[in-house]
Amino acid sequence: MENGESSYRRFLAGDDEGMVELIRNYKDGLILYLCSITGDIDSAEECVQDTFIRLAVKKPHFAGRSSFRTWLYAIGRNMAVDRLRSLKRRRQTSLEDAAEISDGTDLERSYLMSERKVTLHRAMRNLKKEYQQVLWLTYFEEFTAAEAASAMGKTRKQTENLLYNARKALRTELEKEGFSYDEL
Amino acid sequence: MMSYKEMAANVLEARDRYEEKKKRRKTLMLRCIPAAAGLCLAVVLGAAATKHPLTDIPQPPDIVTETAPVTDEEPVTAVTEAVTTASAAKPGRTTATAVSQTVTKPEVTVTAASDVTTVQGSEPSHTTAAANSIVTEAAVPQTLPIATVPGKQEQTAAVTARTEKVSQSTQAPATVTMPVSPVENMPSPVETAPADPTENVTPTLKEGGPDDPYGIKAVCRKYGFIDIAPANIPEGFELNDIGYEEQEDVNVLFINFNRKRSRPYGGIGETIYLIYSFNKKAEPPDNWDTIIPPPDVENMTSTVNGYEFRHYYSSLDKQLYAIYTDNNQRFTIMVCGSDRQTAESIFTSIA
């Protein structure tokens, strides 16, 4: 049984420490993943918090058809998409009134802990959001194609095609900055 | 950027707030549901009581009865009045409809008598210019549905004997001769009529016989009517009931044939009435030819079972009216609620 699944079952049984463990293990990676959807780190953090609140309040049933992490990332993705939709309906906030938005550099460094990965992650920011998602899940979260498809709500074939195109785009982007894709 | 502990604290706090809210909601529902159920029940009961009050007991429908004044002294006037009233209701036409409605209760012989009046009396009163009605005899308007048939006046020349018309009916004309002559052996209804003025005398088949499948002849003999009855009744019609009513100057026998009804109250087209009326004090009209039927038919003369009837059919009223007179007695047959061919076939099949 995966650590996340066991922690979640403990939480459902009444142990609040299980939720703490979940947050500790999955918060950063989920933030960085959702950042590719929302576009900014703070929105991603709020989405992650909302995701864990949903787990604590609604207590959805984990069927075990995929890994816990895939299941959690799928929930987080749905939360991020819903947030984007709601933000579209709201008024645009002026930049003067907007709070300072962090760029997530510290989180990036602390989570990735590899300059190579940080470089890669920064290069991904210039790509399409779907490319960012699939690359993040595949390269950084080490999701399989099936898990990435499940988390993104796509079929496996769609995910593989998306990954292929994302790599091509990432290669181009890295070459612009003087990096060789093969080295990564 | 929050640490994982801060996020965990926020998450658990949100969870606690939700649980508390859920608990309060559950308590509120447990208190409100019984009250809401009681309120709904009260509303339903109140609505039911309002719509169907316990004191509202359905009463049987009243039968309209209305008697016209009987005046022997001025029969013409009476006729006029009656006819005028009838004219007001349905000028120039027989109101077979009224008759039909009445006969559903055979013991009640009067319907909207304003529409229908019996023209019976000591003097034959005929058509009146004012009303343009057809009067077959002196009007003693009574509460009988069998009555004069107000209609337009026509020249007597239009009246032609149509015995051949009757004979051409698809139904075999009744040729059975009575064992006795009509004049000599016309029974006096006064002598044999029972005391009970109105009663339902529907016979059973057992009372009839091979030549009297409906038992009508037996009833006729019992009450002093000419014992003739139609041998031909359209398919689907069954004898519903026979009612007898005795009044001062006229006895009436109602014979009602109904087709099986699909509706609770049926319709005119599904009922055939035979109305035997016997005027005890009738006198033959001064001028038989002045009896003018409605314009859509012509007077016909048919010998049915030895009795010479003058008859006509009104397509507007869907009624065949036949009358036999003999000095002070008259025998009337009315076939209501059927088309001309059916009415004539029923009439001519009387044997």
CATH of the domain at A155: 1.20.140.160
- Nearest-angstrom CA–CA distance, B289 and B165: 19
Burial label for B329, CB within 10 Å (0-12, 13-18, 19+), is: buried
CA angle B69, B309, B343 (to 5 degrees): 90
Check if B11 contacts A (Cβ < 8 Å).
yes
Contact B286, B124 (CB under 8 A): yes
Write the pLDDT tens digit of every residue in A90-111: 655 545 444 444 556 666 666 6
Q: Say yes or no to pLDDT of A116 above 60.
A: yes
Q: Tell whether B61 is covered by a domain.
A: no
- Nearest-angstrom CA–CA distance, B334 and B215: 19
**What pLDDT score was predicted for residue B13?**
93
A104 φψ region: left (φ > 0), alpha (ψ -120 to 50), beta (else): left
What number is the average pLDDT over the span A147-172?
Answer: 89
Write the pLDDT tens digit of every residue in A123-133: 888 888 888 88
Q: Is 0.80 surpassed by the pTM of this model?
A: no
Cβ contacts of B6 on chain A, cutoff 8 Å:
none
Same domain, B21 and B111: no
The domain containing residue A151 runs over which residues? 3-90+105-175
Same domain, B172 and B292: yes
Check if B8 contacts A (Cβ < 8 Å).
yes
- Which residue from B340, B317, B330, B196 is spatially nearest to B268, judged by alpha carbons? B317
Q: How many CB atoms lie within 10 A of CB A6?
A: 13
Q: Tell whether A143 is covered by a domain.
A: yes
What is the number of structural domains in chain A? 1
Check if B10 contacts A (Cβ < 8 Å).
yes
- Given B1, B2, B11, which is nearest A19 (Cβ)? B11
Check if B14 contacts A (Cβ < 8 Å).
yes
Q: Tell whether A57 is covered by a domain.
A: yes
- Nearest-angstrom CA–CA distance, B93 and B108: 22
Same domain, B210 and B308: yes
* A16 contacts B4? CB cut-off 8 A: no
**What pLDDT score was predicted for residue B58?**
61
Arithmetic mean of pLDDT over chain A: 82
**What pLDDT score was predicted for residue B122?**
40
- Nearest-angstrom CA–CA distance, A148 and A44: 18
What is the number of structural domains in chain B? 2
Q: Tell whether A97 is covered by a domain.
A: no
User: By CA distance, what is A44's nearest residue in B?
Assistant: B1
Same domain, B287 and B144: yes
Question: A 106-135 residues with CB below 8 A of B?
Answer: 106-107
User: By CA distance, what is A57's nearest residue in B?
Assistant: B15
- Nearest-angstrom CA–CA distance, B214 and B143: 27
- Nearest-angstrom CA–CA distance, B126 and A124: 116
Same domain, B28 and B177: no
The domain containing residue B5 runs over which residues? 1-56
pLDDT < 50 stretches in chain B = 68, 71, 73-184, 186-191, 193, 195, 204-206, 265-268, 287-292
B251 φψ region: left (φ > 0), alpha (ψ -120 to 50), beta (else): beta
The helix (H) or strand (E) run that includes residue B96 is helix B96-103
Write the pLDDT tens digit of every residue in A36-84: 888 888 889 999 999 999 999 999 998 888 889 999 999 999 999 988 8
Angle between helices A68-89 and A145-152 (to 10 degrees): 30
Q: Tell whether B297 is covered by a domain.
A: yes
